Amino acid sequence: MDEFAFIDAIKQHTYKQPSIIKGVGDDAAVFRQSAQDIVTAVDTFVEDVHFSRATMKPFHIGYRALAANTSDLSAMGAVPAFYLVSIVIPESWNEDELKGIYKGMAELGNTYKMDLIGGDTVSGKELSLSITVFGYVNRNKARYRNAAKPGDVVFTTGTLGDSAAGFFMLTNPGEYIDKAFYYRRHRMPSINADFASELEFLPRLALNDISDGLANEASEIAEASQVSLTVYEEQVPVSTHFGQFRDDQQFKWKMFGGEDFELIGTVPKKSWEDVKQIADLTQTQVTEIGHVENSDDSGSDVFLVDRGQTKKRLEKKGYTHLKQVKR
């Protein structure tokens, strides 16, 4: 495969974002943003660690990878703008499959008016995809994890555990209700870009995206804000047919599953009505799932009140991507 022909095939010929001065085609991309703050993040997805061709088409791999990164922008309250892609290509992938990955990214990109402005293609032993995303947020309006305060309402968007359920269905073939819904939640997760940016007028909001599981993300807010979060199990929102799975599966997926790319946030009680209004406006499901308290002597923790009304400390147990490295 010829690198230049490949780049020519995947590159955009026009850009939707007026801030782009130079996209693909030189040593680097150039953009201008004098009015707003710029938000940027990178994430890498490795074959057979973060995704598998057994459960996803190349299109889904690209779509989901860009969705995961764009979700980080939403978690900052930023509006997505553009992205860079660096791809490591092994011999086992052909040109059509690779183009499929870029088509998946372009599909999500079109939905959120994002442009591909540059990148890199190199060869290697395993396919990996590094995406750097850029978004804009009004000055001093980026939303941080450290903004939670005692008394806040804790909420999440959407329903949790669907991506993990979808992955289970794909890897354990059988009779399930609403397969297409769960497959889609796993392969083509939606992100809450509009909802997050429309909350801009709120004076205070802590925000995090649920990439590594509710327990883990709640814990990040608790630690960064030096508070404790209490979550009520029966309030954690799940999809209509989530009850078809065993109780232990439901619990594991909704608390620790992650990769739904929904948002968890905390706001002062007086802002909760505003959050619900913006949710209506942006057609986003929001659910109050708990509240913020002072952290106790033992530190900043997350507590779960289970269905039997027992309150217990919740372990993070989120999916951490770095497990196999020797010390």
141's CB contacts (< 8 A; 6+ apart) are: 37, 77, 200
Q: Mask of contacts with a copy of itself, 293-322, x by CB under 8 A?
A: ---------------------------xxx
Q: Rank residues 124 and 243 by Cβ distance to a copy of itself and give the closer one.
A: 124
Range 36-47 burial, b when 16+ CB lie within 10 A, else e: beebebebbbeb
Binding residues among 69-98 for a copy of itself as defined by CB under 8 A: 72-73, 75-76, 78, 84-89, 91, 93-95, 98
Give min distance, CB of 92 to a copy of itself, in A. Answer: 8
Our finding on whether 199 is near a copy of itself (CB under 8 A) is: no
Binding residues among 258-287 for a copy of itself as defined by CB under 8 A: none
Give min distance, CB of 174 to a copy of itself, in A. Answer: 30
- Nearest to residue 243, comparing CAs of 167, 180, 176? 176
Q: Under DSSP, is residue 238 helix (H, G, I), strand (E, B) or coil?
A: coil
- Nearest to residue 75, comparing CAs of 286, 285, 264, 225? 264
- Nearest to residue 70, comparing CAs of 9, 29, 111? 111
Binding residues among 21-80 for a copy of itself as defined by CB under 8 A: 21-22, 25-35, 37-46, 49-50, 72-73, 75-76, 78
**How many residues sit in the footprint of a copy of itself (CB under 8 A)?**
78
Q: Rank residues 94 and 240 by Cβ distance to a copy of itself and give the closer one.
A: 94
- Residue 232's alpha-carbon distances to 59, 111, 125, 289, in angstroms, are 37, 34, 45, 6
Find the part of the chain contacting a copy of itself (CB under 8 A) among 59-67, 186-194, 205-213, 266-274: 205-213
Q: Rank residues 131 and 165 by Cβ distance to a copy of itself and give the closer one.
A: 131
Tell me how far apart the alpha carbons of residues 66 and 102 are, in angstroms, rounded to a whole number: 10
Residues in the chain: 327
